[in-house]
Structure 1
């Protein structure tokens, strides 16, 4: 194998045939030494500039696009690629219809995309032209209307009495920049951390499930409290309820003791 090292006997034989104290090989000389790409680019800068100048001379002076020769070459290449694509769009021997359809879709995808872009651009252009025509039609109508309104206002002003003050200012879309006395704060604004509460909240309605729980407890629909104030108990009522609770607990314990006999 060429990448394997030869035997020692073979190497010694070659060394004896070539001899000792030989001069440098021509391919290993400095003249044939490889130059780095960056250094070669610097050394060949003049050549690159000349080639670029030749290319610029072939282009038109206005810089609108590529030269005629280059355009012809590009068109010829495009025609050749189109003919090659058409020749390729044939079912090959042993090719299934699914593979053929996929190959046709891949080949025609670029042209279909270009056609869609061109059609959308044409539609946008037509829509823009229609809007411009409408705007040009509406502007003279508006001017004529404003002129007629101005004339009618002048006529009415001349007919009116001189003693009557004519309003000079009309309502326009411009807002007054005068400072207001009070600022309107929206209720949806978030409350800050250190806001001070002036008074406790006043709850005027019962909670949502209060009536439902009252109905489950045996209270009829019309008997329960309708507002929160009606459902609040006074101190005397609370004390009376505590006494009744203690009495019920005492009676229950006495009943249990009588059953168990303790």
Structure 2
């Protein structure tokens, strides 16, 4: 019966005849559905090559179109019904950008030449200055130090006491200062005594005035004494 399974011996013999190097079947991994992201990663090289080919073809087409436009532009012909004046103006309008670009390129070349010439002059001047600079000479020998003075710490005759020393508060002077020498242009000391030869000599008028003042002081003193004296006993008895 056709649906009946063959014997094991028949199946083994058939398998040995076919071998193991078979083509992949419909259920193999090669025919299994793969996600697009994984497929893009696996076929990255092929996808890159196809993209480069398309880009190259597009650039070639654009270049061919540009060349065709240039050829059409260069072939300037007078149009039917166009006057010579209008044709000349159209030719000038087409050639104006070319003339402008040519002038700019010429100016750029001139500027480049001038810049190169300036750089060359600077390099020459630097080389000359380097050649003129003298070679470094030997450093001068240091002068011997002077001998140390043994009496350097000894105070000098003209040394002045430092006024920055702190002064103690509440210091008490033992005596007033004595001015033994008059200042310049002064005839008397501060106390009022004369420094001339007539010190202590009074005139007659001064003596009379002093005597009157003495008598006045005595009379005033006696009046004050009498006012302070207590009254007598007789007066108190009355």
For normalisation by structure 2, the TM-score amounts to: 0.32
> Relative contact order: is structure 1 or structure 2 higher (C-alpha 8 Å, sep ≥ 6)?
1
Question: Bigger radius of gyration, 1 or 2?
Answer: 2
Higher helix share: 1
